[in-house]
Amino acid sequence: MLTPVTDAFAADLRARLPEATFREMTPAYLEEPRGRYRGQGGLLLAPGTVEEVAEILRACAAARVGVVPYGGGTGLVGGQIMADGPAPVIVTLERMRAVRAVYPAENVLIAEAGAILAEVQAAAEAEGRLFPLSLASEGSARIGGLLATNAGGVNVLRYGNARDLCLGVEAVLPDGSILHGLKRLRKDNTGYDLRHLLIGAEGTLGIITAAALRLAPVPAATGAALMAVRDPQAALDLLALAQGRIGEGVSAFELMHRQGFDFLAETMPEIRLPWARAPEWTVLIDLGLGAGLSPDEALVGLFAEAEAAGLVSDGLIAQSEGQRAGFWAVRESLPLANRRIGAISSHDISVPLSAIPDFIAQAGPALARIGDFRVNCFGHVGDGNLHYNVFPVPGETRADHEDKRAAIKACVHDLVHALGGSVSAEHGVGRLKVEDLERYGDPVKLAAMRAIKDALDPAGILNPGVILRARG
Amino acid sequence: MLTPVTDAFAADLRARLPEATFREMTPAYLEEPRGRYRGQGGLLLAPGTVEEVAEILRACAAARVGVVPYGGGTGLVGGQIMADGPAPVIVTLERMRAVRAVYPAENVLIAEAGAILAEVQAAAEAEGRLFPLSLASEGSARIGGLLATNAGGVNVLRYGNARDLCLGVEAVLPDGSILHGLKRLRKDNTGYDLRHLLIGAEGTLGIITAAALRLAPVPAATGAALMAVRDPQAALDLLALAQGRIGEGVSAFELMHRQGFDFLAETMPEIRLPWARAPEWTVLIDLGLGAGLSPDEALVGLFAEAEAAGLVSDGLIAQSEGQRAGFWAVRESLPLANRRIGAISSHDISVPLSAIPDFIAQAGPALARIGDFRVNCFGHVGDGNLHYNVFPVPGETRADHEDKRAAIKACVHDLVHALGGSVSAEHGVGRLKVEDLERYGDPVKLAAMRAIKDALDPAGILNPGVILRARG
C-alpha cells in the first residue's frame, strides 16, 4: 500500500538533496498531449545527478511513496501522469541533459536521460554521424522517456526501434541501487539483459539516467519521393520492390491516406500540400545511399518498375533538400492536424506485414456498423505499424461520440488481435491500455511480468498503475 | 534444494509422456567441444511438442528435479553440461526441428527450437530470402540454443546478434506454463520484453521451443576480399572507410593474425591458404550489395583509397563464388585448427571498438610475464569481439601449462575489464564463467538477475549452476 507525499517526507528530502532539486509544480507536469489525463499535485523533483536520483528512490522506497518518472511529457498513453492514488513524487530528468561523450570512431554517443532527442541528433551530426531515431516530437522528447517507452518513429525500418539503438544504460532501480551498465559494446553476453528489460518498461522497473547510444554513418546522399499507390497491398509490394533494389538504403517508408491531407488543408493551411488532388493512398519513401549512388536515379528506376507493375500511378521526386523537408513536414504534421480535428479514439496498432491490407479492408466496414466517422489511417507501413485514428464527421465533435469510444476501440483492437497484431505498436501501454493488456495479452506473459515487477519493486513505488495495475 | 532423478520419478513421467520422448543416454549428451566438462547420467528426454516440454517442466518443478536444456551441443562454456549436483533431466529439443512456416513477403520464418541453423538458412534461401545468422558450427547448432545464448557470428556487423533476428518466442517457463509469444511484429510495445529476457538467459529462465525469426532480402551481388592491414588500428580505420563508402553493404569484417594461418598449415593441410606468406594481420571483408552495384568495383575502390592512406599493403579480391567460399573456409576453420593445437586458455572478449589496438598491444606483453606462449587472436573486429586464445609453444602441450591457466585467464580478463570490455562477448557465461561474472560483473546487475531468477524459477530447476551459482 503506497502512502502520499507528506510535508514531513518533503522536509526530510530537503535535508538530503540540494536546493536546486526542488521545483515549483507547474501545470505542464500534470497534462499530456491528448488531454485524457490530468495529474494531481505531489512533489516535483529535478535531480542533477544519478546519485540524487538514487537518494530520491531510497527515500521513496523507505516511505512507500509512489514515483512518476518524467521525460519530455510527449507520451500518448498517460504513462507520465498519475491521475489518482496517493500523491506521488514526480522526478523530472530535465536537469540531466548532457551529452557526456561522443565516440565517432565507435559510432557511439553517451547521453543523459534528460537530453532532448533533437540535441542528441545535433551532437551526432557535429561529429559527422547520424543518430537515426526520429519522430514528430523530437524537439521535446527526451532520451530517457524514449528508451523507457521503446520509441519507434520513421526510421525503424532501417535502424530499428529505440531499444535497437541502445548499447547500455545507467539506471536507478526501485531500491535506489545504481545499475552501472553504460557499456559501449556491440556484444556482451554476460547474463540477463537488464537493458532490454528496462527499455520498454515505461519507468516501472527503474529510472534510466543515461544511455550509450548507437550512431550510424551519415548516408552520402539522401532523397525522397511521394508515390501514389493503388491500394495498401500495392504499398507493400512497392516496399518489397524498393528493398530488393535498394536494400538497407530505404530509410523510411510511410503510408498516408487522403484524409490526412484533407485535415492538413483544414487545420494547417501553412503546410504546403504536394498534390493538387491527393490520391487515396500516398507513400513517402526516404533513401540514404552510399558514396557514388544517386537517390534520384534510384527513385526514378523504382518508380518506372513499380508503374510497369501497376503499383503506382503518380510520383513526385524531391528535387532539393528543401523539397524533401517539405514532404516530411507533411508527414510529421499529421499528428497535430489530428489533434486539431479531435479524434474520438486513436489507435497505435501493428499487424504482421501481410495482414495490413486485410486490416484496412475490414476495419472501415466494422466501424461503419457503430456510426458514421472519418478515419485517418497513416503510419510506418514498413513496420506493420499504423496509426488508425477515428474522427467525427464535419459538424460533429468528439464530445458528441464519447459514448461510442469504448465500442470503437474494442472494434479496432479486436480486429488487430484476431490478425495476430498488437494494440500498442510504439506508444506503449501507459495507463491508457492497462485494460487492453489484460484483455488481449498472454496471461502467462502477464503473470511473469507481475513476478518480475514484484521481485524488483516489491513496494510498487515506480510509476504505479502503468503497464500493470497498481496493487490496491 | 534439488533432488536427483529417481526411478520413481522416471516411471511417473513414463505414464504421462509418449514412449518416443524417452531416449537412451549416449556419451554425446555428456560431452562438450573443448572437453572441459563431462556430464553425469540422468534422464534423457526428447519431447516432440511444446505441451510435452510443459509436462516435463511441471513434473520437474513439482519434484524439484534439475533440467538441462540441450540444443546442438556446440556451446563452449559448459552451459549444456551439468557435471555435478543431483542427477538432472536432460531435455533435448532435437525432435522439434520443423520450420513451421515461412512468410517471404514479411521476411519472417517460424522455426522450432531444434531446427539446425543450416536448415533454417536453407529454408529461407528456398523462398529467396536470407537468414543472416552465420557461424562456424551452423551445421549442428540449433535455433533454441542459438537464441538461449544470443549467438553472434560473422554477420553481426550488418544484421545484429541472434536477439536482433528474433521477433518473438514460444517458450516454457519453469512452472510449466507456456508463453505464447510467436509474434511476427516489428513493433510491439505491450509490456516487459520477455523475449529479450529469455534470449541470452542460457536456459535458466525458460526453454525456448520455437521462434519467429527475421529474414532479409538476399543481396543481389556478393563479394569478398582479404586485405593485409598494417596493424589493428589500420583494421579499424579500414572498417570506417568501408562503412563510409559502402554503408550496410559491409556484411562481415573479420580480423585474423598470422598465427591462425600457421595453425591451419600445421593441422589442416587440406585448407588452401590464400597468402604465399601470410602478413601479420589480415582482414576478411564480405560485401552484399543491391541491384546494379559491383562488389568487385567497390572492393577495388576501397583498396585503392586504403592503400593511399597507408592502411593496407596487399589484397586479394575473390574472383568467383568458389574463391569467396575459400576465403571463408580459412576463417571458419580457425576454431578447429585451434582445437587441434590445444589451447591452454580461450577468451571470447569484447572491448569498445577504439580500445582494440590497446588491448592487443597490452595483452601480449602482459602474458609474456607469465610464460612463453603462442597467441591466436582473430575475430569479429567490427563488433569489438576478439577470440584471444593462448597456446603452448611447439613441443609443449596444454597439459604442461594447466597450472598457469588461471593466471592467464585473469591476466586477459583483468585487462578487458580495465578497458570497459566484456569477458563473454558471444559465447555466454555457462558454467565456465560464473566466477568471472561474480568478479567483474556489476553487483547491482547480479542482484537484480538473482531476484528475477528466484521470481521465475523459485525452486531453481532450470539449468542449475549456469550464469548464477546453483542454490546450495
pLDDT digit string (tens) for B446-463? Answer: 999 999 999 999 999 999
Asked if B189's CB is within 8 angstroms of A424's CB, the reply is: yes
Asked if A189's CB is within 8 angstroms of B149's CB, the reply is: yes
Asked if A454's CB is within 8 angstroms of B454's CB, the reply is: no
Average pLDDT estimate for A372-398: 96
Asked if A186's CB is within 8 angstroms of B384's CB, the reply is: yes
Measure in Å the smallest separation between the Cα of B433 and chain A Cα atoms: 9
The Cα–Cα gap between A63 and A86 comes to 12
Asked if B161's CB is within 8 angstroms of A187's CB, the reply is: yes
Closest alpha carbon within chain A to B445: A179
pLDDT value at residue A472: 64
The answer to whether B421 contacts chain A (CB < 8 Å) is yes
Average pLDDT estimate for B242-264: 95
Average pLDDT estimate for B126-132: 97
Residue A381 confidence class, pLDDT cut points 50, 70, 90: very high
Residue A408 has pLDDT above 80, yes or no: yes
Say if residues B118 and B104 touch (Cβ distance below 8 Å): no
Number of inter-chain CB pairs under 8 A, A vs B: 280
Residue A161 confidence class, pLDDT cut points 50, 70, 90: very high
pLDDT value at residue B161: 97
The Cα–Cα gap between B66 and B77 comes to 19
Start and end residues for every CATH 3.30.70.2190 domain found in chain A = 221-418
pLDDT value at residue A259: 98
The answer to whether A421 contacts chain B (CB < 8 Å) is yes
Residue B33: what are its φ and ψ, rounded to 5°? -55, -35
The model's pLDDT over A164-181, given as tens digits with 9 standing for 90+, comes to 999 999 999 999 999 999
CB within 8 A of B176, min separation 6: which ones?
B54, B55, B56, B57, B58, B59, B61
Angle of CA points A141, A143, A149, to nearest 5°: 80
Measure in Å the smallest separation between the Cα of B254 and chain A Cα atoms: 14
The Cα–Cα gap between A99 and B284 comes to 35
SS3 for B219? coil
Written as nine digits, the cell of A298 is: 534510384
The model's pLDDT over B404-437, given as tens digits with 9 standing for 90+, comes to 999 999 999 999 999 999 999 999 999 999 999 9
Asked if B420's CB is within 8 angstroms of A187's CB, the reply is: no
Residue B42 has pLDDT above 90, yes or no: no
Measure in Å the smallest separation between the Cα of A8 and chain B Cα atoms: 30
Residue B467 backbone class (left: φ over 0; alpha: ψ -120 to 50; beta: rest): left
Measured between CB atoms, which of B179, B248, B292 is closest to A444? B179
Q: Which of A364, A323, A334, A343 is nearest to A262 (CA)?
A: A334
SS3 for A284? strand
The Cα–Cα gap between B3 and B17 comes to 21
Q: At what angle do helices A232-246 and A356-368 cross, to 10 degrees?
A: 160
Report whether CATH 3.30.70.2740 matches the domain B342-428: yes
Residue B202 has pLDDT above 70, yes or no: yes
Q: Which of A49, A50, A52 is nearest to A13 (CA)?
A: A52
Residue B472 has pLDDT above 80, yes or no: no
Asked if A184's CB is within 8 angstroms of B352's CB, the reply is: yes
pLDDT value at residue A293: 86
Asked if A454's CB is within 8 angstroms of B456's CB, the reply is: no
Q: Considering the domain B221-331 in this protein, what is its CATH number?
A: 3.30.70.2190
Instruction: Find the range with the poorest average confidence among A158-167, A384-393, B115-124, B284-293.
Output: B284-293
The answer to whether A384 contacts chain B (CB < 8 Å) is yes
The Cα–Cα gap between A112 and A120 comes to 10
Closest alpha carbon within chain A to B245: A291
Closest alpha carbon within chain B to A237: B105
Measure in Å the smallest separation between the Cα of B349 and chain A Cα atoms: 8
Start and end residues for every CATH 3.30.43.10 domain found in chain B = 7-94
Average pLDDT estimate for A350-362: 97
Residue B107 confidence class, pLDDT cut points 50, 70, 90: very high
Average pLDDT estimate for B189-215: 98
Measured between CB atoms, which of A161, A179, A449 is closest to B191? A449
Angle of CA points A74, A76, A77, to nearest 5°: 130
Q: Which residues in chain B are closer than 8 Å to A103, comparing Cβ atoms?
A: 352-354
The answer to whether A257 contacts chain B (CB < 8 Å) is no
Of all helices (H) and strands (E), which one includes residue B197? helix B194-198
Topology given in CATH for the domain delimited by A99-217: 3.30.465
Residue A328 confidence class, pLDDT cut points 50, 70, 90: very high
The answer to whether B250 contacts chain A (CB < 8 Å) is no
Start and end residues for every CATH 3.30.70.2190 domain found in chain B = 221-331
Say if residues B211 and B147 touch (Cβ distance below 8 Å): yes
The answer to whether A196 contacts chain B (CB < 8 Å) is yes
Residue ranges of B 102-121 with Cβ closer than 8 A to chain A: 103, 105-108
Q: Which residues in chain B are closer than 8 Å to A107, comparing Cβ atoms?
A: 353
Asked if A193's CB is within 8 angstroms of B352's CB, the reply is: no
Residue ranges of B 134-193 with Cβ closer than 8 A to chain A: 149-150, 152, 156, 160-161, 163-164, 173, 177-181, 183-193
Written as nine digits, the cell of A214 is: 548507437
Per-residue buried b or exposed e for A385-413, using 16+ beta carbons within 10 Å of the residue's own CB: bbbbbbbbeeebebeebeebeeebbebbb
CB within 8 A of B472, min separation 6: which ones?
B1
SS3 for A144? helix
Of all residues in chain B, what percent carry a pLDDT higher than 70? 100
CATH class, range B7-94: alpha beta
Residue B296 has pLDDT above 80, yes or no: yes
pLDDT value at residue A227: 98
pLDDT value at residue B290: 84
Asked if B425's CB is within 8 angstroms of A191's CB, the reply is: no
Measured between CB atoms, which of A161, A192, A384 is closest to B449? A192
Q: Tell me, what DSSP letter sits at residue A272? A: P
Residue B347 has pLDDT above 70, yes or no: yes
Cα A183 to chain centroid distance, Å, stands at 24
The model's pLDDT over B72-81, given as tens digits with 9 standing for 90+, comes to 999 999 999 9
Residue B153 backbone class (left: φ over 0; alpha: ψ -120 to 50; beta: rest): left
Of all residues in chain B, what percent carry a pLDDT higher than 90? 96
Cα B303 to chain centroid distance, Å, stands at 31
Q: Which of B46, B92, B101 is nearest to B73 (CA)?
A: B92
Q: Which residues in chain B are closer than 8 Å to A160, comparing Cβ atoms?
A: 164
What is the distance in angstroms between the CA of the first residue and the CA of the last residue of chain B?
6
Q: Considering the domain A221-418 in this protein, what is its CATH number?
A: 3.30.70.2190
Q: Which residues in chain B are closer than 8 Å to A383, comparing Cβ atoms?
A: 186-187
